[in-house]
Amino acid sequence: MRVPLAVTTSARPKPQLRAQAEAASRQWGVPLFMRHPKEGISEWLEERADALLIFGHDGVTLWDREGHHGFHGGMAHLRRLRLATGEPDTFVRVTELRKGDAVLDCTLGLAQDALVASLAVGPQGRVVGVEKSLPLAALAAEGLKRYELGPDSCHIDVVHADAHAYLRTLPARSFDVVVFDPMFAKPRKAQPGFDVLRRFADHAPLTPEALQEARRVTRRWVVVKGARYSDDLKKLGLKPEPSSRHTDVDWGRIGPAEVG
């Protein structure tokens, strides 16, 4: 029977890699496919699994029949370097992140904004990333275990869940900032790996009900990213924050709702 996701290793894995794959299989509740020497994965992707999370000597990689993407810092790595030297970051500016803040990223994806947030809030802060797609949640969680955040950043917790459902389980005012970066209806130019993100991500738009739930949970801001020259933010009653005319995205934000 074909499964949505399975775990395996590179060919001829060392015991440590095999142990990591076994642990991931248990954590995510997916099958473990052990490879024989020189055995490829193309047949598995044709017949046994929609996607494979592969533990290799160079990190963790998500494969499907159309391509693959290994977890890495990407542009977030450069943003973190700039932030550390005092350069501004649009995401940090709009969210008004401070040291010690608690941040809930409701659309974790490849964890780009979460990586920046972990540095912005510092080691005393908290970052939780929610991802509805099991392959993306597993890739981000396993990749983050191997990413060197450094002493100036907090740990990033990954939750595999529907964001709206997860928000309903949280107490009021339990996070300083709640973030949404919904998948844009029209693809836009992006860094490598975004094609993988689009294939696996949840494409459902952010609903007013989920936004209202986020306003119950936040203490300061709910921040939403939208495509420029679209009505993404307008549909939610949000106005774009001032930003560079050269960017193709807008950020909207709204404060907490009254809690009865």
Please name which of 22, 63, 14 lies closest in space to residue 41, comparing C-alpha atoms. 63
Say if 6-70 and 75-254 have the same CATH topology. Answer: yes
Predicted local distance difference test score (pLDDT) of residue 144: 97
Rounded to two decimals, what is the model's pTM?
Answer: 0.92
Predicted local distance difference test score (pLDDT) of residue 184: 52
Distance between CA atoms of residues 135 and 79, nearest Å: 25
* Amino acid at position 134, single letter: L
Q: Which two tokens stand for residue 215?
A: 């306003």
Predicted local distance difference test score (pLDDT) of residue 25: 98
Distance between CA atoms of residues 25 and 32, nearest Å: 6
Distance of CA 207 to the CA centre of its chain: 19
CATH code matching the domain that covers 75-254, chosen among 3.40.1260.10, 3.50.50.60, 3.40.50.150, 2.40.50.140: 3.40.50.150
In the predicted model, residues of the chain with pLDDT beneath 50 are none
Distance between CA atoms of residues 248 and 190, nearest Å: 11
Find where tokens 């950020």 sit.
Answer: 251
Please name which of 34, 45, 56 lies closest in space to residue 4, comparing C-alpha atoms. 45
In three state form, how does the secondary structure of the chain look?
A: CCECCEEEECCCCCHHHHHHHHHHHHHHCCCECCCCCCCCCHHHHHHCECCEEEEECCEEEEEECCEEEECCCCHHHHHHHHHHCCCCCHHHHHHCCCCCCEEEECCCCCCHHHHHHHHHHCCCCEEEEEECCHHHHHHHHHHHHCCCCCCCCCCEEEEECCHHHHHHCCCCCCEEEEEECCCCCCCCCCCCCHHHHHHHCCCCCCCHHHHHHHHHHEEEEEEEEEECCCCCCHHHCCCECCCCCCCCEEEEEECCCCCC
Distance between CA atoms of residues 66 and 48, nearest Å: 15
If you compute the radius of gyration of the chain from its CA atoms, what whole number of angstroms results?
Answer: 19
Q: In sequence order, which residues have a C-beta less than 8 Å from that of residue 71 and are 6 or more positions away?
A: 59, 60, 61, 62, 110, 111, 139, 140, 142, 143, 144, 146, 147
Q: Which two tokens stand for residue 230?
A: 């679209």
The domains of the chain are located at 6-70, 75-254
Tell the CATH topology of 6-70.
Rossmann fold (3.40.50)
Distance between CA atoms of residues 104 and 126, nearest Å: 8
Q: Which two tokens stand for residue 30?
A: 């997916």
